[in-house]
Amino acid sequence: MWDQKDGSFAIVVAEELIAIEQGVGAARAVLFQELVLRARRGRQWLALLHAAACGIEGHCILLPASSYSGKSTLAAALMATEIELYSDDFVGIEPGSLRIPPMPFPIA
């Protein structure tokens, strides 16, 4: 990802231009979505949400919200009560089963 002279950000992966976005927030969202897609290659998604997800015994709670609204802080607090973190920042929902698989990214 790099800053263009006009204030936009280009997201490039392995020399492939993925997107050009205005502003850091929009570029960050595209970058995280691309990380999720590449971390779980071959998976089909019903949706990719800007959210955290925590759960226990097969049950999950989604924490959808905008950046800097406290998703990670709340997820960390839930983890302190032995609730598992499935994903922080981006959540993939599988079609059909509506399952939310864990994402291999640390809490941000």
Mean per-residue pLDDT of the chain = 84
For position 1, what pLDDT does the model report? 52
Q: What is the CA radius of gyration of the chain?
A: 15
Structure tokens that stand for 34 in this block? 């691309």
Q: Is 57 in contact with 83 (CB distance < 8 Å)?
A: no
The answer to whether residue 3 scores a pLDDT higher than 70 is: no
Give bridge partners of residue 64 from the DSSP assignment. 51
pTM: 0.71
Q: Where are the alpha helices (DSSP H) in 52-92?
A: 71-79
| 10, 54, 93 from 88: Cα distances, Å | 23, 9, 13
**pLDDT digit string, tens, across residues 8-22:** 888 888 888 888 888
